[in-house]
A and B are shown apart, each in its own frame.
Chain A
């Protein structure tokens, strides 16, 4: 399931199946709790990881086929970083069309909402395309008063 990479990065690979999101959710919750993540951080990463993974699995592979999405979780003294790497079609998360707050119920659309929520709930998102892969990092900074500590050390 998860393993240590470079001593400090936890890695999970999931298949491009929607059913894999549940396994990712359990993994992420378990690993973040080891670092004493606050309930707010747990919720925020749970939400944003679900949105990103759903987006990749639903849209990155228009031709289908079996693919692997790699997640890397890194917690250091000042931030939590969750990276998603996929070999799907190029998709710059940061340039995606944002959700527009709807005027009324009939006009309300759902497109782009997951991306909008991720940008809102995370402090920072970074995207690069490298070696034919999409690499997206979602980052939350830890305040100096936070009780999150690196229990691995």
Chain B
């Protein structure tokens, strides 16, 4: 997997993930993923549009990440997951815990307080 971040404005960072969120892929990005979530005192939008696959290890990574951001009092949203990945999130019940947005404007609005 690949990971990079963009500063959208003074309060929001967008993390762009790409590749399969399987046990190997998550292993490649989890250190940086958690560093961004635990150090930047900002709300976070995770762009999932380039992630074609996610197993439970990917959900675990998202949950750990979202919890860290939530504990800081900041907000967290997932942006445009592909349909298969969105289905896994829904079956797991994660869509009830983490906001999933269909476009960037909606995501910015959801994480802006």
Contact = CB atoms under 8 A, between A and B. Distances in A.
Contacts of B39: none
Interface string B53-73: 101110110010011001000
Given A108-B63, A108-B97, A117-B92, A50 B55 contact: yes
Given A22-B22, A105-B66, 8 more contacts: A47-B53, A50-B23, A54-B57, A99-B92, A102-B93, A110-B63, A113-B60, A117-B91
B70 to A, nearest CB: 5
Nearest to B24: A22
Nearest to B84: A43
Nearest to B27: A18
Interface residues of A, number: 25
B98 interface: yes
Q: Which secondary structure dominates chain A's binding surface? A: helix
Interface string A26-70: 000000000000000001001100110010000000000000000
Please tell me the size bucket of the interface on B. Answer: 20 to 34
Contacts of B35: none
Given A47-B53, A108-B63, A117-B88, A21 B23 contact: yes
A51 B64 CA distance: 19
B60 A110 contact: yes
Nearest to A21: B23
Interface of A: 18-19, 21-22, 25, 43, 46-47, 50-51, 54, 99, 101-102, 104-106, 108, 110, 113-114, 116-117, 120-121
Contacts of B88: 47, 117
B96 interface: yes
Interface of B: 22-24, 53, 55-57, 59-60, 63, 66-67, 70, 84, 88, 91-94, 96-98
A101 B67 contact: no
Contacts of A114: 55-56
B91 A21 contact: no
A113 B84 contact: no
B93 A18 contact: no
B70 A105 contact: yes
Nearest to A22: B24
A102 B94 CA distance: 8
A84 B8 CA distance: 46
Contact of A46 (B53, B56, B60, B63): B53
B24 A19 contact: yes
Given A43-B53, A43-B84, A54 B67 contact: no
